Amino acid sequence: MTRAEDREHRDRPEQLLNTAFSGSTPQPKPKPTALNACYTPSSLYRNANTTPGRSKTPGTGKSSCSRAKERDSLMESCLIVSEESNMIVAVRVRPLNALECTRGQVTNVVQVHGNSNELTVQAGSSADASAGVTHFFSYDQVYYSCDPERKNFACQAKVFEGTARPLIDTAFEGYNACLFAYGQTGSGKSYSMMGIEALDDAALDGGPPHDEAGIIPRFCHELFRRIEAVKSQQQLQVEVEVSYFEIYNEKIHDLLSVQHAAAAAGESTPIQQQQQQQRPALKVREHPIFGPYVVDLSAHSVDSYSALRNWLAVGNSQRATASTAMNDKSSRSHSIFNIVLNLTDLSSDDGLSSDTDSSTASSLRQTRRSKISLVDLAGSERISVSGSNGERIREGVSINKSLLTLGKVIAALADSRKASANGPLGSGTPSTFVPYRESVLTWLLRVSVTK
Ligand SMILES: Nc1ncnc2c1ncn2[C@@H]1O[C@H](COP(=O)(O)OP(=O)(O)OP(=O)(O)O)[C@@H](O)[C@H]1O
């Protein structure tokens, strides 16, 4: 995932924040592996009238010169990777929020021209040497959500259509997919992923998502619409299973455990509520074939959109949020919503003899299984700006650390692909060490970001 603004801009409180989020694209069919969504910004950095060293790679914590070199080499890597990448990077520019509007000096410095996939960021204030400098960034997709009067305005539905709908096709073909939202705190990740939940009550009774619903509810609604459509044409047995967890201070909490669900529904006793507050942390283990997984994570079968939507509501009510100076309801955890889709072709029974017992028959039927992970990352933040203290600081440090590791993992993947592409016959073995296990987030997303 990448961001449109460079650190220079992020450091200025008066700049507009924008959200970047990434979707993975369908795996080209001949490739046997599941879909990957590796973090390879396909943005080509173009610098209009500033020196490359002025724009910095976020989060490297190095001198501007070494950061510039690192950024340039990362961009180079990304060019190589993006040519064969199965991912897309999309950026969404949100409007100024109420807080920013009340601060006199805040102006919108991000511009998107027409329906292009390029945006410009106007750098610097008049007191600044970089005043007037324009930075250009291009991405696979750019969504401008600031002014509904503009032709290129991207509403929630448009963002869903461009980023997440293609993943449904992917899932029906049996590939895995991952979409995650990355951005500074308050930049609109949860709004893009979940939308305004309070307005989406009708969905709990099976109604279609509200206009303000985000990617996740829309994805789930469309998934069940497609399931019904496919079932009407084909003899298919469809099973959908969901799980939902958060990573808070490097600890994993099940957001859908039955105990929590009861508490969320108001059915819990005070003791249960207390237990809920001291939620047990789950462990990650490594399966020899399927890779890292969360031990004892609950998974729930759902047979309709409204059932799924209800689980989603339960999970969201369990998520750790808090008010910070930059966001009234800031997510303090990374949330990962998984949907597993199993499609069994019942028409393949034709080839089975009548004396085949039912368990053998079911193992002989063709089954396609795919896992879709929809991830709302906690926002990166500068502690001094977000006004954090005490527990909030601890959370902020943990969030920043895991996001930094995500950046390191992506840079290492880009390096290893580059080395691989430059190897003999372009088939050198990737040798770069990828520090997946430095954070729980990257460990668990490993299968989503690698082949
Ligand atoms: N595209 C948008 N249009 C209108 N309002 C938006 C948009 N994006 C975000 N907002 C509003 O901005 C505020 C912050 O958004 P949100 O909570 O989604 O940020 P976030 O990136 O998830 O922050 P954090 O990382 O702190 O959780 C919310 O009030 C949200 O409704």
Q: Which of 149-153, 266-270, 287-291, 379-383 has the highest mean pLDDT?
A: 149-153
* CATH dotted code for 7-449: 3.40.850.10
pLDDT higher at 40 or 156: 156
Tens of pLDDT, residue by residue over 67-78, are 444 444 434 444
Mutate to test the pocket of ligand 1, among 94, 182, 382 (most ligand atoms within 8 A of CB): 94
- Give the H or E element holding residue 308: helix 305-318
Q: What is the pLDDT of residue 4?
A: 35
Distance of CA 301 to the CA centre of its chain: 23
Which whole number is the average pLDDT over 41-52? 24
232 vs 426, which has greater pLDDT?
Answer: 232
Across the range 247-259, mean pLDDT stands at 85
Q: Dihedral sign, CA of 308, 310, 313, 314? A: negative
190 known ligand binder:
yes
DSSP three-state, residue 341: strand
Give distance in angstroms: CA of 128 to centre of ligand 1.
29
Instruction: Compute the distance between CA of residue 348 and CA of residue 444 in angstroms, rounded to an integer.
Output: 35
69 appears as a binding residue in the annotation: no
Residue 109 sits at φ, ψ, to 5 deg, of -105, 0
- For ligand 1, residues with CB inside 6 Å are 94-95, 97, 145, 183, 185-191, 327, 329-331, 378-379
Q: Whose CA is nearest to atom 9 of ligand 1?
A: 188
Domain borders along the chain are 7-449
Report the nearest-CA residue for atom 3 of ligand 1: 94
Report the amino acid identity of residue 20. A
Sign of torsion over alpha carbons 336, 445, 117, 103: positive
Distance 123 CA to ligand 1 centre (A): 23
Higher-confidence position of 114 and 19: 114
For residue 191, give the H/E element and its range.
helix 189-193
| Phi, psi dihedral angles at 93 (to 5 degrees) | -100, 120
pLDDT digits (tens, 9 = 90+) for 352-392: 555 656 665 555 567 888 889 999 988 776 655 555 566 66
Average pLDDT taken over every residue of the chain: 71
Distance 53 CA to ligand 1 centre (A): 31
* Position 216 pLDDT exceeds 90: yes
Instruction: For ligand 1, pick from 3, 97, 380 the residue to mutate: most ligand atoms within 8 Å of CB.
Output: 97
Check whether 188 is labelled as a binding-site residue: yes
- Buried b vs exposed e over 107-132: b needs ≥16 C-beta within 10 Å? ebbbebeeeebbbbbbbbeeeeeeee
**ipTM confidence:** 0.98
Compute the distance from residue 327 Cα to the ligand 1 centre, in Å. Answer: 8
Nearest to 268 by CA among 253, 257, 281: 257
CA of 95 to the centre of ligand 1 (A): 9
Give 53-96 pLDDT, tens digit per residue. 223 333 222 333 344 444 444 344 444 444 456 678 899 999 98
Query: How far apart (Å, rounded) are the C-alpha atoms in residues 59 and 123?
Result: 19
CA of 159 to the centre of ligand 1 (A): 14
